Structure 1
């Protein structure tokens, strides 16, 4: 309830209904652009990032071979699938398998790679209009923290609760 009273409206909207991105396009962009690790950092900053489509907040979009980013306003969660290729894990997170990730990992590691730099630039772009930068949490598929990520997939329907759309319809009916 404190968030409802204190967060700016745009951050409150992300808190209630986060933005979900599949960051494979960023990794593909970093690997296929003409950036080399020996070039000046100033040239890297000028290259535009690809626009990533926002995904619906549903588990049907999750893939065990991909990495996903969820912007919740005050928290950015990076969800690492169980079968992400080792070369991608090495380039983005500096690890060779998801087993090397702890249950609760905060902050993006400093890895010298184009993929890591592009992901950091994307996070900076997400944080640009925020009053303060969001905390970054990395969650692996088999982590105990996976529930924190899954519970924010509000478009999924379960037998005991309404989907987000049904919830809005229920509120609308109650207001009338």
Structure 2
């Protein structure tokens, strides 16, 4: 019973930690664009997926939604929660099934990089559709390259975080053990 209670507490702490990291890295570490901003919060969604598996959807939704609230992009909150939650879920499903500690092989980085890239393409497409309806097609087309740049940054920083997380004392934490 104590092990389960300890694991539950550890999981709650990790969800809270990644919610805060995602919010801060999204709202405060950013580059403005004509419609929004570019940030590295997505990399921390992926970092959360490494440790929380599919439950990374929870801090992805909380942190990203909170960042939109903090920065005043209120109209984006619902779509952000949907898109970022999906990114956390998909990357978490794949990473949650990986052996521990995470291998540092080229094939692993290639596979995970492709999963991260797929998540970022989903993000770009999701915001494109939203902006097409909220603004117009021209605005959505204008924002798409910035979303792709943000996605590329998320993939690169996310991959860089893999060996960093591996070296932390929490490297063997896995919610679905």
Give the TM-score normalised by the residue count of structure 1: 0.29
TM-score by length of 2: 0.28
Q: Write 1 or 2 for the structure with the bigger share of strand.
A: 1
